[in-house]
Structure 1
Amino acid sequence: MLLNNIRLKNYRKFRDEFIEFPRGILGIIGRNGVGKSTIFEAIGWALYGSVMSRSGKDEIKSQNAPEGEICRAELEFSLGGHNYKIVRELQGKSPLSRAFVFIDGSNLPEVARDSEVNKYVEKLLGMDYVTFMRSVYAKQKELASLSILTRAERQKVIRRMLNIDKIDLAVDAIRTDKRDKQEFIRGIEFKLEDMKKLKQQQNNTTKEIEGLKEKIDTLEIKRTRLEKKKGRTRKSRDKQEVLYKKHNEIKNSISKLSSKLEGLTQRKNELLKEEQKLKKEKQTLATLEPKEELYEKKKRQKEAMDELRLRHNRKNDLKRSVKQKQREIKTQNRLIKETQNRLLPLKDIDRKYKKAQKDLKEIKRKKMILDRDTKEIIKKESVFKSKIEELSEKKDEISSLGPNSKCPVCFRRLGKTHKDILNHFEKEITKIKGEYQKIRNIKGKLASQEKQIKDNEARLEKHKDALNKKLARKSGLEAKLRNQKQELSKATTKLAKEKSELKSLVHVKFNDVQYKKLKTELESLSKIRDEIIRLRKDVSRLPQVLQDGKINSKAIAAQEKELKTQKKALAELKFDEGKYEKTKRTFEQVSDDLSGCETNLEKEEGNLKVKDRELKTIKDKITEQKTYRVKIKSTQTDIQYLERLESLMSDFRNELINRIRPLLTARASYLFRELTDDRYPLIELDEDYNIYIVDENQKYGLKRYSGGEEDLANLCLRIAMSQVIGERSGAEINFMALDEIFGSQDESRRINILNAFNKLTNQFAQIILITHIDTIREKLPYVLRIEENSNKESHAQFE
């Protein structure tokens, strides 16, 4: 696999960048944080998706990108005689990932789904994303970690990088499977029962079932006999039931006829009494009817005097109302004058209130400007203070390191520059402290102005509140004055109307004594009138009472005739109640016997079903026990196979480790000789993967050597591991990326490393070196510089 080019659009700090990858060694150079490592991250993201990103999907898209634009990476590479182009992009607020694979310039995608592209790449390269990263990418921190880890941690890391951990996982899975099967056998053995007891239970239950079947046959014979007997007794009972029902029907008819005849006789007596009463009331009505005409005459006279009385009372009410209205008008005029006098001092209050509002608004504007200036000054003060603290910390850190220590940035020895750096920090701190003091002086002046403005604001607020209260009092008095004038207008209008009405009633006169005498006479005649009406209503019912008497007499005669007929039919029926009761008891006894027999039969049949279920349960349990025993035997065989497989896998793991360690030693030693100009002929790895350097036929641990030599040895081992991983995966991966590996090396070692990489180009056609050290660029055949502009956007340019 060889990289051709990559295009990044809105990917982290890169807005729109196209980078071609040449054959040979490519140095990606730039300051820390400008996006050098981002380029290789984008290569991994294009191939394997979000698992290769160092952050979530929502942080991949460039912050400066417009909202509607997409984030995209387009990677082109060559493999196995074909050219591949992989496009991966994010779109939307909650980023939706899409991916496509194109082959040999085709416009139609070979694969067009995110997850499917991931699977396609893994199959194409023959490795997942973890194996890919371990075989082609190495960082300085990763190199150093190999020598500082504990024995167990180092073994774990190297086995993971070489995929030996997958064999360990397989062995663990075999052991887990074996434990599960052993636990399965223990669970089944807990369920095993005595087969002899189960078969004895089966025989006993079978005998009980046979006994129940014999009882059921006997009960069925008895039930048949009782059913026949019940049929014979039912016929006799049904015949007696017919006579019994007819006998009761006739008796009920006689009872009803007797009750109805008694009611008709009682009604006849009531009608006779009512007839005598109505004839007497008819005579009384004839004597009272002449007084009805006198009642009507007196009633008309009273109605006329009622009208006159109403007008007379209205006249008196109007006289009193006119006097009251005149007093109200006089009082209202006095109140209006008082309100007008109270309004005079408040005449200019509106103008004063508006002026107070204007003054207060101006004060607030000044206060807002002052607040803005104060916040800006506080912000500057915080910035200067932070700078002073930051520079002081850096100065203290450099001071504590001493001249013989390494620079924490470039890892060079400080030496004579130690004192110059401290003087530079001291000058910067003094300069910033001067600016800081100026800011504090300005802050004090602004605080004084703020106090003066707050005092004026409080005074104006108090003055405005006082004017506001007066304004509210004026508004209330004006509303009160309007109401008073309205009330005066209403009273004046109403007084004029009442005077006009009183003038029309001036001649009205009323005799109260005559009115009371007439009222008394009418009340006496009214009682007589009510009695006449009642008597007329009662007397009008006399013809209907006479007619009802005749109808009642006919009904009595008909009922007496029907009652005689029913009594004759009852005598002719000849019903024997004793015989009826005996037949009924015989039938009920036979029915009870049959019911008892059926109950016993049902009970025994139920017992038979229970026993059948018990027998089935025992048979199922016997079958289940046989199955358990077969499963135990089969699982024991599986455990034997798993134990053999576990042993084989463990032997294979040990064999693989013993084969890989010499291979790593040989590859790392070759590289180390090249990088040290044959000064150190050999690197050795013990069983715990501790690194030893052979020097003059003696081997020594890494702690004996300088930090640069230690990093160099780790680098050689890491490259050797990448070669082995690539070869074992079967993938044609012909490039490697190394991130910040020159920090601890001196100039000569850097040149040796570059020369060694030139010799590796027959194995790795592309070697990408990511570094912030600018001095090595002249030694590189290709240099890609990454720089950041004022908008925090990064750009790549070949030098």
Structure 2
Amino acid sequence: HRTFKKGKTIQHDATFHKEGKLRATGVSQVEAEVRRTLGMGPVDFRNTIYAAQKDLLTLLENTPGRRKEWFLRALGIDYVKTESDRLLREHIDAKDRDLRLHEGELKGLIDRYDPEELSKLQKLVEQLSIERKDLEDRMVSHTERRKEVAAELHRFQEKKTEYTRLVERHASLSGDKKDLVRQRERLFDQVKSLPGLEKECQDLEKEVSALDAKKQNLEGLRNKKSEYERLKSEIRFTEKQWKELDTRVGKTRANIEIIDKDAERLASLRKGVRELLRIGPQIPDTDLEQAAQSMEANLLHTIGTLSARLEHLVEERKNLAADWKIIEEAGPHGICPLCRQTLGAHYGQIEGEFSSRFDRIEKEALETCEQKDRVTVEKDRIDQQKPALREIRGISERLKNRLQLEQDLQELLAALRRNEEERKSLADRIVESGYDETAFLQAERDVRDLERVQVRCIELGKQIAHGKAQMSQLEALGTRIQDKEGEIAHITAAIENSDFNPELGTRLEGTLEGIDSGIRAAGAEIAANSERVKGAREKIERYKKDEEAIEELKSRKAGLEEEIGLLRLTRSMIGEYVLYLMQVVRSRIEGEVSHIISEITGGRYEQVLLDEDFNLLVRDIDDDFPINRFSGGEQDDIAVALRIALSRYLAELHHVHESTLLIFDEIFGSQDEERRTNLLSALRTQESRFPQIILISHIPDIQGEFSNTLMVEMA
């Protein structure tokens, strides 16, 4: 049995029992056990026990080669021939492709292989090795000379460094001296203005003495201004509150007017909904929307039921129309698709029954559509009232707020009265404060001017103190300038006594550069020599690998040529073996057919021959004749004998006991009664060899010819 799982592959379970015992479990194991038990595969087993509807017709076929093709297929010889030929051809083609590939590779290697070039490369490597030794000796000589020149240049660089340090120190001291002289001159200019600054500072101190009194006056005015600003801010806040309260009073009164109008609208809407939906006074106003929803749910359920019924009627009519189309196409002389009997005189009665069922379905569908339309109209009426129901719900919610709005209005009016009293009180307090904005601004200007004078006085004091310090700096700068001049004189004498010679350094650098050029040239030649040696050795290695590859490819080529020859010989031998096998099969089947035809015909025909194309020749008296020379009944006997002979040959080939069953499926075709009777007589002659012969036929006249009959009918 098979197990199906959604979204997964099909699973097969199989078990095999023999003589009450479990022999195998699983598809592969069961298949192997069945093959072992039967002694043959499924195709041979089918051809042994089962004769299909067209087998006898094919055995009597006059078309050249058709009978031979059938025998080759039934015996499995065509599979041996075609499959072996295909497999061998594929192997030959694959080996041939490999051979051509190896031949191409071998030709390419032979074309580029040159023994003389290999000898030249080996000599070149020896010559390059000698040249490299000379270059390395030259490199060593240049390196030793460079060390000597580099040491001498190093000593020169030390002297140059010391000389450069003295020159740079002399320049640095000269620069420091110039900076000190400039500082002394700048300080001298600043010290000259010191008496004038002292006189200006004394005058400003007299003006600054009145600053404290001015600040005390300004502080008193600031306190009054702070109180004044606070009162003004409170007045502005109360005015803002008054505006907000006045706005809220207007909005609250407007909302009360709207709610009064909504009450009138609510009564009108409820009256309209009751009239249109036919809702009586037993339903209170608060439950109108719930009653409408209940009515809508009932109508939707009814519409769903009617729609399902319509779909069922459409499907029923579709199936009925399909059945009628099959019967109508078959006609009065056709076969009923249900009972497989000829319609005949029942055709008119069946047509009337189908017509009556069509009328009933159409009438019921029309009534259902009309009923659905009526229910849909009722639902549409409810849908049209949904906006009114939503409006009723909204107005009802708003009406709940009217009492709260009245209370809010009274509280807002009381707050307005308190706000007006508070504003009047604040205005009186501002007048009582006596604050003067002009006097406050003048006091601020006076204090600001005196504070600037005070800042200038402090700055002058700092400048005067700094000037006195600068006098001391002038004396110190004079001493530092004298020290710098002494150090400069000492360094100048050291520079004049130095033995540093710039020309010697130039000569040493030129010599070193020449040596470096020689080293680089020798290194470049050594590198070039190494590359040439490397390239030559790589070519030598490649030539050696080519020699090995050529020998290997020659060996492979010879092996492939030998394999191709053996495969072609095998293909030829299999073809000859198939011819031999067909001759053996023909001779075996000829004997079986002759024996069986003798039994069927009561000894009238005793010998049947098969030529190379499996054409039948039957011996009659003293000559052999083709089957088309005989009557239809005799041809049927020959075909049955030939088919039984094939079954017995296959059973014997697989060492199966010949007492088995035979199944003939629709072998009577369109024979008349005489030929059918003749076929049955022929089969009865084989009952001693086949204890069970099963005939499958749709012809009712032959039912009485059998000891056991099974009827198969459609449900």
Asked if Structure 1 and Structure 2 have the same fold, meaning a TM-score greater than 0.5 normalized by the shorter chain, the answer is yes
Letter in 2 for 1:495: L
Letter in 1 for 2:610: L
Question: Is 1:75 the counterpart of 2:13 in the alignment?
Answer: no
Question: Is 1:649 the counterpart of 2:590 in the alignment?
Answer: no
1:45-96 CA-to-partner distances (Å, cap 9, x unmatched) read xxxxxxxxxxxxxxx4499x9x9x9964422237xxx9761123xxxxxxxx
Rg larger for: 2
1:542-578 CA-to-partner distances (Å, cap 9, x unmatched) read 7688668659747767666655554454444421111
Give the drift of 1:274. Answer: 6.5
Question: Do the aligned partners of 1:312 and 1:510 also contact (CA within 8 Å) in 2?
Answer: no
In the aligned structure 1, how far is the partner of 2:439 from the partner of 2:598?
A: 154
Give the drift of 1:310. Answer: 1.7
Look up the match of 1:221: 137
Look up the match of 1:86: 24
Corresponding pairs, count: 678
Which has the larger displacement, 166-175 or 734-743?
734-743
Question: Is 1:290 the counterpart of 2:209 in the alignment?
Answer: yes
Which has the larger displacement, 546-555 or 654-663?
546-555
In the aligned structure 1, how far is the partner of 2:86 from the partner of 2:68?
A: 17
2:361 to 439, 463, 477: 439
1:16-68 CA-to-partner distances (Å, cap 9, x unmatched) read xxxxxxxxxxxxxxxxxxxxxxxxxxxxxxxxxxxxxxxxxxxx4499x9x9x
Look up the match of 1:49: none
In the aligned structure 1, how far is the partner of 2:630 from the partner of 2:221?
A: 144
Which has the larger displacement, 684-693 or 270-279?
270-279
Give the drift of 1:446. Answer: 2.8
Look up the match of 2:261: 342
Question: Is 1:502 the counterpart of 2:423 in the alignment?
Answer: yes
Give the drift of 1:296. Answer: 2.0
Look up the match of 1:309: 228
In the aligned structure 2, how far is the partner of 1:575 from the partner of 1:613?
A: 57
Look up the match of 1:174: 88
Letter in 1 for 2:168: N
TM-score by length of 1: 0.70
Question: Do the aligned partners of 2:249 and 2:413 also contact (CA within 8 Å) in 1?
Answer: no
Superposed CA RMSD: 4.8
Question: Is 1:371 the counterpart of 2:338 in the alignment?
Answer: no
Look up the match of 1:233: 149
Give the drift of 1:441. Answer: 2.4
2:219 to 300, 304, 311: 300
Paired residue secondary structure (1:574): coil
1:714-754 CA-to-partner distances (Å, cap 9, x unmatched) read 56545544444454456789856737356659467457536
Letter in 2 for 1:173: L
1:458-501 CA-to-partner distances (Å, cap 9, x unmatched) read 4443x325525744874796699799779857844753653464
Question: Is 1:381 the counterpart of 2:317 in the alignment?
Answer: yes
Matches within 5 A, 1:85-124: 85-88=23-26, 114=28
Letter in 2 for 1:437: D
In the aligned structure 2, how far is the partner of 1:580 from the partner of 1:76?
A: 113
Structure (1 or 2) with the greater strand fraction? 1
Cα distance 1:717–1:301, how it changes in 2: closer, same or farther (>3 A)? farther
Letter in 2 for 1:241: Q
Paired residue secondary structure (2:431): coil
Paired residue secondary structure (1:85): strand
2:159 to 227, 243, 247: 243
Letter in 2 for 1:250: L
In the aligned structure 2, how far is the partner of 1:757 from the partner of 1:62?
A: 44
Look up the match of 2:663: 738
Paired residue secondary structure (2:18): strand
Question: Is 1:159 the counterpart of 2:72 in the alignment?
Answer: yes
Give the drift of 1:363. Answer: 3.5
Cα distance 1:373–1:620, how it changes in 2: closer, same or farther (>3 A)? closer
Letter in 1 for 2:263: L
Look up the match of 2:550: 625
1:299-344 CA-to-partner distances (Å, cap 9, x unmatched) read 2122222123224424653675576467546634541342123202
Which has the larger displacement, 498-507 or 335-344?
498-507
Gaps of 5+ in 2: 271-284
Paired residue secondary structure (2:24): strand
Question: Do the aligned partners of 1:234 and 1:587 also contact (CA within 8 Å) in 2?
Answer: yes
Question: Do the aligned partners of 1:668 and 1:716 also contact (CA within 8 Å) in 2?
Answer: yes
Question: Do the aligned partners of 2:60 and 2:639 also contact (CA within 8 Å) in 1?
Answer: yes
In the aligned structure 2, how far is the partner of 1:703 from the partner of 1:303?
A: 149
1:646-686 CA-to-partner distances (Å, cap 9, x unmatched) read 33322222111111122123334444554566565455433
Question: Is 1:430 the counterpart of 2:352 in the alignment?
Answer: yes
Cα distance 1:770–1:320, how it changes in 2: closer, same or farther (>3 A)? same
Paired residue secondary structure (1:687): coil
Question: Do the aligned partners of 2:16 and 2:24 also contact (CA within 8 Å) in 1?
Answer: yes
In the aligned structure 2, how far is the partner of 1:736 from the partner of 1:137?
A: 9
Paired residue secondary structure (2:23): strand
Cα distance 1:432–1:167, how it changes in 2: closer, same or farther (>3 A)? closer
Question: Do the aligned partners of 1:693 and 1:702 also contact (CA within 8 Å) in 2?
Answer: no
Structure (1 or 2) with the greater helix fraction? 2
Cα distance 1:304–1:199, how it changes in 2: closer, same or farther (>3 A)? same
2:370 to 448, 467, 483: 448
Cα distance 1:196–1:589, how it changes in 2: closer, same or farther (>3 A)? closer
In the aligned structure 2, how far is the partner of 1:353 from the partner of 1:709?
A: 94
Q: Percent identity of the aligned residues?
A: 14
Cα distance 1:538–1:442, how it changes in 2: closer, same or farther (>3 A)? farther
Give the drift of 1:214. Answer: 4.2
In the aligned structure 2, how far is the partner of 1:741 from the partner of 1:320?
A: 115
In the aligned structure 1, how far is the partner of 2:332 from the partner of 2:185?
A: 136
TM-score by length of 2: 0.77
In the aligned structure 2, how far is the partner of 1:482 from the partner of 1:253?
A: 103
Cα distance 1:273–1:156, how it changes in 2: closer, same or farther (>3 A)? farther
Give the drift of 1:430. Answer: 1.9
Cα distance 1:315–1:373, how it changes in 2: closer, same or farther (>3 A)? closer
Look up the match of 1:43: none
In the aligned structure 1, how far is the partner of 2:664 from the partner of 2:202?
A: 140
In the aligned structure 2, how far is the partner of 1:148 from the partner of 1:410?
A: 34
In the aligned structure 2, how far is the partner of 1:492 from the partner of 1:150?
A: 121
Cα distance 1:520–1:677, how it changes in 2: closer, same or farther (>3 A)? farther
Cα distance 1:297–1:155, how it changes in 2: closer, same or farther (>3 A)? farther
Look up the match of 1:664: 589
1:520 to 442, 449, 467: 442
Question: Do the aligned partners of 1:325 and 1:491 also contact (CA within 8 Å) in 2?
Answer: no
Question: Is 1:532 the counterpart of 2:532 in the alignment?
Answer: no
Matches within 5 A, 1:570-649: 570-649=495-574
Cα distance 1:670–1:335, how it changes in 2: closer, same or farther (>3 A)? same
In the aligned structure 2, how far is the partner of 1:642 from the partner of 1:322?
A: 114
